[in-house]
Amino acid sequence: MQNQKTKNFTSEFEKEVFEGLTAYPKHLSSKYFYDEIGDKLFQDIMAMPEYYLTDCEFNILGANKSEISALFQADNVPFSLFELGAGDGKKTKILLNHLVENKTVFDYRPIDISQNALDQLEASLKAEIPNLEVNPIQGTYFETLRDINQANGRKKIILFLGSNIGNLLHEQAVDFLNNLRDSINEGDLVFMGFDQKKHPQTILDAYNDQTGITAAFNKNILRRINRELDGNFDLDKFIHWEVYDPETGTAKSFLVATAPVSVTIERLGLEIRLNQWETIHTEISQKYDDAVVEWLADKSGLSIVSQFTDAQQHYKNYVFKK
Ligand SMILES: C[S@@+](CC[C@H](N)C(=O)[O-])C[C@H]1O[C@@H](n2cnc3c(N)ncnc32)[C@H](O)[C@@H]1O
């Protein structure tokens, strides 16, 4: 096995996979779930009855689209609508349609790490909302904040839906929100979804469906390492495992080895061994309440302008300004 310091990684993916699989305990970043297969699996997850997040946010946007759009165009100036981790834009299209129907002057700038997701989104928008100006940006949240910062002189509205913020630990979220605050100006707005704390079983079920879609999604990261980095993970030797801690509001996904596993990853010159029951931590899905969101806003110099929720208060969208 080579020493990490002697390695020349050709991508962030290679570097992070190397670091994560040589760490103890092992971990991989959930942002690498999303390739062509992962994007499709996530769409299947959104369609599952257990994955309440999508329906909640869909209903919130549907019920409040006039009020939300009015907030975006309060000062009647053209704006750029950025969206971090846009995915298939299913929910965003509610707002996009409403804004276009009302002849609002804006362009839409979806940002995603997955080029496949952006290509599909652009094609579907062309067909469904042909009058919309779409300018996609491929990259990670952190990388693309610079693009947001340096964008045309227009007012900026930043969408961050799907409780994507929940994939960041509080410390990373504060760091990210601080950077986001530095990328916007007075008068710009941030519109963000936060999944709320609720019955722990409801949360566990959302990430642990009986049909195995979430398990396939979680394992896709290993499939990706096999394909892109010449690895030989035996996917059948791993199970998907979800835990939720109601005290911290943190749901965590793991891949657990059910037998001793030896893996070679040719492109990284790496050989690893997992003991039976050893874990690879792959995702966090943080759940929130008002106090935590207020704390995050406070730590990052943002203030809450408004909030929207569903009948059961399972999910909330907050509007922030600098
Ligand atoms: C959970 S999906 C949510 C998609 C959409 N926002 C929604 O609510 O339906 C997360 C999306 O963000 C993208 N993504 C995940 N981590 C990312 C990162 N660090 N930087 C940029 N995009 C990321 C994924 O490719 C995926 O399309």
- The answer, yes or no, to whether residue 1 has pLDDT greater than 60, is no
- For residue 8, the enclosing domain spans 4-33+202-286
What is the reported pLDDT for 152?
Answer: 72
Separation of 120 CA from ligand 1 center, angstroms? 14
Residues 111 and 190 in one domain: yes
Q: Supply the residue whose CA is at minimum distance from atom 26 of ligand 1.
A: 87
- Ligand 1 atom showing the smallest separation from residue 140 Cα: 20
CA of 218 to the centre of ligand 1 (A): 14
* 159 shares its domain with 56: yes
Averaged pLDDT, 184-199: 97
Q: Evaluate whether residue 44 is within a structural domain.
A: no
For residues 11 and 142, membership in a common domain is answered with: no
**Range list of H helices, the chain:** 12-22, 36-46, 52-72, 92-101, 115-128, 141-149, 170-182, 200-206, 213-229, 290-299
CB atoms within 10 A of CB 311: 9
Whether 269 maps to a domain, the answer reads yes
- What atom of ligand 1 comes closest to residue 160's alpha carbon? 6
**39-67, pLDDT tens digit by residue?**
999 999 999 999 999 999 999 999 999 99
Q: Would the CA dihedral through 261, 264, 268, 272 be positive or negative?
A: positive
Q: How many domains does the chain have?
A: 2
178 plus 305 within the same structural domain: yes
CATH of the domain at 109: 3.40.50.150
Q: Is the pLDDT of residue 94 over 90?
A: yes
pLDDT tens figures, 133-181: 999 999 999 889 888 888 778 999 999 999 999 999 999 999 999 999 9
Q: Given pLDDT bands bounded at 50, 70 and 90, which one contains residue 5?
A: low
Together in a domain, 82 and 101: yes
* Domain match, 221 and 300 both: no
